[in-house]
Amino acid sequence: MSDTVSDIIRDKFNVLTRAERKLANVLLDNYPVSGMTSITRLAELAEVSPPSVVRMAQKLGFTGFPDLQNALRDELEATISNPIAKHDRWSQQAPDTHILNRFADAVIDNLRQSLDQLPPEDFDRVSALLADRKRAVYIVGGRITHALADYLFTHLQVLRENITLLPANSNIWPHHVLNMKPGDLLVIFDIRRYERDLINLADMAKEQDVEIILFTDQWGSPVGKAASHRFNIKIEAPSAWDSSVVTLFMLEALTAAVETRIWGVTKSRMKQLEALFDRRKLFR
Amino acid sequence: MSDTVSDIIRDKFNVLTRAERKLANVLLDNYPVSGMTSITRLAELAEVSPPSVVRMAQKLGFTGFPDLQNALRDELEATISNPIAKHDRWSQQAPDTHILNRFADAVIDNLRQSLDQLPPEDFDRVSALLADRKRAVYIVGGRITHALADYLFTHLQVLRENITLLPANSNIWPHHVLNMKPGDLLVIFDIRRYERDLINLADMAKEQDVEIILFTDQWGSPVGKAASHRFNIKIEAPSAWDSSVVTLFMLEALTAAVETRIWGVTKSRMKQLEALFDRRKLFR
DNA sequence: AGGCCTCTGAAACAATATTTTCAAAATTTG
DNA sequence: CAAATTTTGAAAATATTGTTTCAGAGGCCT
């Protein structure tokens, strides 16, 4: 890799003129942000004239000031950008452009941004709600997200009692709404292609004072209006579809958090479950 | 301290329009360096017009783009001069020990290690098999992995024809084995708690010269003996359960790869699907 | 399906930024 | 100390960026 701008400046410091050295000092001080202004302000800051800036840039080997500034920005980007997120090949054996690496980049980026947006207090509040065994929990997903709803259901069901997975068929939903009591929880998955039926369901549930927990994308499903808790998850992927990886991540983290809160209950349920599985084995 | 630009963006994300959201994503991605260009290049990067950039800047409360850019530069300066690695936590707002951060660490580690172990050629070979439309594809999961099987099924089904999801109930599996022809594919999910029924299914299928693609954990399910292709995925999590996040990642990457291989077919199927959905909407 | 409204980008315009020119100031050299 | 040389900044010229206007596109609602 070629030299950084600061290297070049130090290299050529002794062939710089007085005005140029003033500039060099300003640039190196608070490097490289100080170079991210306009040529005019930089000149003012160094108490020299704008032409001096141009001359120096050219003397350092750039075609002009913007060229130098770009170099600075690129350096900055390389320094700043999250070392975990970028320019780190995931599959060493595959080229950067292989779908595995591109997908990994996208997913990490989704994860980082989704977590950035999520106040941990919200997360904690939702895990507390789900850990409150007095509240029944209903879970529902759409066409694509049904599998996620199913996954959450399977796990929560082990943790505690009173978990219901609503069927894919929306015709039956009103029957379930009938059972919902104030304070119960309804977990809704609604991503992209927001589904009209889900809005109706949310409205009906809300009228019964059910608290709604919504998992949606960065744009936000219209169900958000009725929801008391919302997870906005970035779902971009190098593909014709969206990625559910981060959503699944949230579900697992949430499950783990709930598990911690009610470990006593969960532990005994898991033991019981083990016993039941064992009996089935013998039975066969 | 007052809000950062990224805070403001997230705050107002839901009142932003489509073009503005595109911009917001570009800005938040590689923040804040991505905002240090000219309005023109930023607009190009986000694939919107320069006026949209101005409008967004004003919507966020700045007098114009330069004002926003100054704010970004000031933040950058503050960040840079305070080099306490801000970026090694996933959720900045939560402590290191918060489950969100611990889970993120675990998942990234799983992803790294799983990709390390996976020769990309194997991945490519499997994607080629799944893209071969002459081969029927059968998918089956266990108690926990059923949701993953379901997810793969839903996606592959859009990509191409002849995809079958075996039911959870193993009693019916022999009926499906009856239909399998030599060269067909059987995708099996078998993680931890390896399920005896799945081994029997794999053996039966193998006798019919069905090629088996196995998704399993780092230890490897006994189904591996019958499988011609195997994905060993690291599934550790700070919880009583295993994490399926990386498995889902592999499924999505695989789906994307298959999609690329048979884009012609997939595209027309997706169009047709759109049309069907539209008709259903009218129908209601 | 049609009317309303919001959103968007092309183009014109305005404001800055960058570069060039050139003469004066500073520095060097004999 | 003066002539030659270099360096410098004011001002003009040029290039680019940022803003506004406005007509048409696109979404949403009834």
Classify residue B282: in a domain, yes or no. Answer: no
Own/partner pairs, B48-52, CB within 8 angstroms, 24+ separation = B48/B19, B48/B20, B48/B22, B48/B23, B49/B19, B52/B19, B52/B20, B52/B23
**Nearest residue, CB atoms, A103 vs list B28, B91, B253:** B253
Q: Characterize B191-216 residue by residue with b for buried, 16 or more Cβ atoms within 10 angstroms of its Cβ, and e for exposed.
A: beebbebbbebbebbbeeebbbbbbb
Mean pLDDT computed over B122-148: 95
The Cα angle at residue A73 between residues A67 and A77, in degrees rounded to 5:
150
For the record, the structure tokens of A60 come out as 């350092």
Residues A153 and A263 in one domain: yes
Residues B25 and B65 in one domain: yes
User: What is the CATH number for A33?
Assistant: 1.10.10.10
**Nearest residue, CB atoms, B76 vs list A33, A98, A224:** A33
Of chain A, the percentage scoring pLDDT greater than 90 comes to: 41
- End position of a domain, from candidates A80, A95, A127: A80
For strand D, which nucleotides have at least one atom less than 7 Å from a protein CB?
Answer: 6-11, 16-21
Q: Nearest chain B residue to A217 by CA: give it.
A: B14
User: Above 80 in pLDDT, residue A18?
Assistant: yes
For residue A61, give every residue at least 6 positions away whose Cβ sits within 8 Å of its Cβ, in sequence order, or none.
Answer: A8
Alpha helices in chain B (DSSP H): 5-12, 18-28, 39-46, 50-59, 65-80, 99-117, 120-131, 146-159, 173-179, 196-207, 245-261, 263-283
Rounded Cα distance between B40 and B265, Å, is 38
User: Above 70 in pLDDT, residue A284?
Assistant: no
Classify residue A278: in a domain, yes or no. Answer: yes
Classify residue B94: in a domain, yes or no. Answer: no
Q: Is the Cβ atom of B186 within 7 Å of strand D at any atom? A: no
Q: What is residue B9's predicted lDDT score, i.e. its pLDDT?
A: 85
User: Above 80 in pLDDT, residue B284?
Assistant: no
Classify residue A114: in a domain, yes or no. Answer: no
Rounded Cα distance between B201 and B207, Å, is 10
Q: Is the Cβ atom of B64 within 7 Å of strand D at any atom? A: yes
Instruction: Tell me if A33 and B80 make a contact (CB, 8 A cut-off).
Output: yes
Mean pLDDT computed over A99-125: 88
Closest amino acid to nucleotide C15 (CA–C1') = B66
User: Above 90 in pLDDT, residue A168?
Assistant: no
Residues B125 and B47 in one domain: no
Q: Which chain A residues contact residue B130 at CB under 8 A?
A: none
Residues B131 and B69 in one domain: no
Instruction: Tell me if B237 and A218 make a contact (CB, 8 A cut-off).
Output: no
Residues B124 and B189 in one domain: yes
* Distance in Å, alpha carbon of A112 to nearest chain B alpha carbon: 6
Residues A37 and A167 in one domain: no
Q: What is residue B2's predicted lDDT score, i.e. its pLDDT?
A: 61
- End position of a domain, from candidates B33, B58, B88: B88
Classify residue B227: in a domain, yes or no. Answer: yes
Domain total of chain B: 2
Question: How many angstroms is C1' of C10 away from CA of B249?
Answer: 42
For the record, the structure tokens of A199 come out as 């809005």
- End position of a domain, from candidates B34, B54, B88: B88
Substitution target in A6, A30, A107, A111 with the highest count of B β-carbons within 10 Å is A107
Rounded Cα distance between B27 and B45, Å, is 10
Classify residue B93: in a domain, yes or no. Answer: no
What digits encode the pLDDT tens for the residues B77-91? 877 654 433 445 666
Q: From the DSSP assignment, how many helices (H) and strands (E) are in chain A?
A: 12, 5
- The type of residue at B205 is A
Own/partner pairs, B88-96, CB within 8 angstroms, 24+ separation = B88/A84, B90/A111, B90/A112, B90/A115, B91/A115, B91/A116, B91/A118, B91/A120, B92/A116, B93/A119, B93/A120, B94/A120, B94/A123
Q: Is the Cβ atom of B110 within 7 Å of strand D at any atom? A: no
Neighbours of B87 (CB within 10 A): 14
Q: Which chain A residues contact residue B6 at CB under 8 A?
A: 116
CA nearest to A43, candidates A60, A63, A65: A65
Question: How many angstroms is C1' of C20 away from CA of A73?
Answer: 26
Neighbours of B231 (CB within 10 A): 23
Q: Can you give the residue range of the structural domain that contains B68?
A: 5-88
Within its chain, how far is the Cα of A180 from the centroid?
A: 32
Q: What is residue B196's predicted lDDT score, i.e. its pLDDT?
A: 85
For the record, the structure tokens of A161 come out as 């009692």
* Distance in Å, alpha carbon of A204 to nearest chain B alpha carbon: 20
User: Above 60 in pLDDT, residue A82?
Assistant: no
Q: Nearest chain A residue to B79 by CA: give it.
A: A80
Question: How many angstroms is C1' of C8 away from CA of A112?
Answer: 30
| Highest mean predicted confidence (pLDDT) among A114-118, A230-234, B3-7, B21-25 | A230-234
What digits encode the pLDDT tens for the residues B38-90? 999 999 988 899 999 999 999 999 999 999 999 999 888 877 654 433 445 66
Contact present, B231 and B249 (Cβ < 8 Å) = no
Residues B44 and B148 in one domain: no
* Distance in Å, alpha carbon of A215 to nearest chain B alpha carbon: 15
Contact present, A243 and A110 (Cβ < 8 Å) = yes
Average pLDDT of chain A, as a whole number: 86
Classify residue A241: in a domain, yes or no. Answer: yes
* Distance in Å, alpha carbon of A147 to nearest chain B alpha carbon: 5
Closest amino acid to nucleotide C20 (CA–C1') = A51
Residues B10 and B121 in one domain: no
Residues B241 and B103 in one domain: yes
Adjacency order of strands within the sheet including A137-140: A163-165, A137-140, A185-189, A211-217, A229-233
Of chain B, the percentage scoring pLDDT greater than 90 comes to: 49
* Distance in Å, alpha carbon of B137 to nearest chain A alpha carbon: 19
Residue A120 CA: distances (Å) to CA of A110, A125, A186: 17, 9, 20
Rounded Cα distance between A39 and A57, Å, is 11
Instruction: Tell me if A248 and B244 make a contact (CB, 8 A cut-off).
Output: yes
Classify residue A98: in a domain, yes or no. Answer: no
What digits encode the pLDDT tens for the residues B182-234? 999 999 999 988 888 899 999 999 999 999 999 999 887 888 889 999 999 99
**Nearest residue, CB atoms, A36 vs list B36, B108, B248:** B36
Q: Largest alpha-carbon pair distance within chain A? A: 92
For residue A1, give every residue at least 6 positions away whose Cβ sits within 8 Å of its Cβ, in sequence order, or none.
Answer: none
What digits encode the pLDDT tens for the residues A53-69? 999 999 999 999 999 99
The Cα angle at residue A127 between residues A124 and A129, in degrees rounded to 5:
110
Q: Is the Cβ atom of B56 within 7 Å of strand C at any atom? A: no
Rounded Cα distance between B99 and B97, Å, is 6
Residues B19 and B149 in one domain: no
Residues B181 and B252 in one domain: yes
CA nearest to A107, candidates B222, B32, B114: B114
CA nearest to B230, candidates B116, B125, B110: B125
Q: What is residue B265's predicted lDDT score, i.e. its pLDDT?
A: 83
Residues A67 and A131 in one domain: no
Q: Which chain A residues contact residue B104 at CB under 8 A?
A: 111, 115, 249
User: What is the CATH number for B248?
Assistant: 3.40.50.10490
User: Above 60 in pLDDT, residue B180?
Assistant: yes
